[in-house]
Amino acid sequence: MSQAEQIEDGALRPAVRAYLVIRDAILSGELASGTHLREETLASMTGTSRTPVRDALGRLVAEGLAVEENRSRYVADFSPSEIMVMFDLRARLEGYAARLAASRITAPELDELARLIEEIDALDMAGGRDATDEFLVLNDAFHNCILQATRSTQLRMMIRPVMSAPVALLKRHIMAQSIGIRASNDQHREIHRALASGNPDWAEAAVKAHVISTKPFRKAPADD
């Protein structure tokens, strides 16, 4: 059963249901940037009570989809220019993380990266949205494994807020651009080879190129 079907028949826990409904409303534009996220209104929209909504909003703030100001929450700014900034930040910070990881990563961590690559290869591309959602989970695990391999508490603290923003979903929903799962996983293989070689320059360049290659492109205006 897909997430959409689970939401429809109420199979999900209230906090998860509230999170998914509100997240989808943000990504679809139903809840526009700057919208005040009132608990009472969202409880009615999600078919839950205020407590699950409060939990969901905390998760959305942690992911960067919402912001908190003076104890109120609002939909974050997802203008195309802000999404570009998110990708640029990830490219720089994750590139540096890969540079550190190249000299610190362990054999079990390299094995875990290889396992994740194989799992992505096994995804059923005919699965549509479900396959994409599965990829996003595995992709996050891949990048978090590299971050863990840095052995740097300071870097993890700095980069977590940037990595928590679901940039791939923003790309797909806000800018209406597809996610190239196969191409992305081919790049994962190069990143794995670079890390396994212990070459910091190669690892940094491979991760930067990977993130930049997934960056949304700005469509040229149509001719008059």
pLDDT in tens, 107-136: 999 999 999 999 999 997 666 667 888 998
Residue whose C-alpha is closest to residue 159's, from 60, 64, 76, 89: 89
Please count the CA atoms within 13 angstroms of the CA of 138 that sit on its side-chain side. Answer: 23
Query: pLDDT confidence of 174, banded at 50, 70, 90?
Result: low
Cα distances (angstroms) measured from residue 217 to each of 68, 139, 171 = 29, 21, 9
Of 66, 89, 83, 74, which Cα lies nearest the Cα of 36? 74
- Given a cut of 70, whether residue 221 has pLDDT beyond it is no
Residue 220's pLDDT is 46
Tokens for 211?
């993130």
User: Pick from 214, 58, 216, 193: which is nearest to 139 by CA?
Assistant: 214
Whether residue 77 contacts residue 86, with contact meaning beta carbons closer than 8 Å, is answered with no
**pLDDT for res 127:** 63
The predicted model scores a pTM of 0.74
Per-residue model confidence as pLDDT tens digits over 201-212: 999 999 999 999
- In 56-151, the DSSP E strands lie at 66-69, 72-75
Query: For 15-74, what is each residue's pLDDT tens digit?
Result: 999 999 999 898 888 998 899 999 999 999 999 999 999 999 999 998 888 999 988 999
In the chain, % of residues over pLDDT 90:
59
The amino acid occupying position 70 is N
Torsions phi, psi for 122 (to 5 deg): -85, -5
The residue with greater pLDDT, 9 or 178, is: 178
Cα-Cα-Cα-Cα torsion 128, 130, 134, 135, nearest 10 degrees, comes to 20
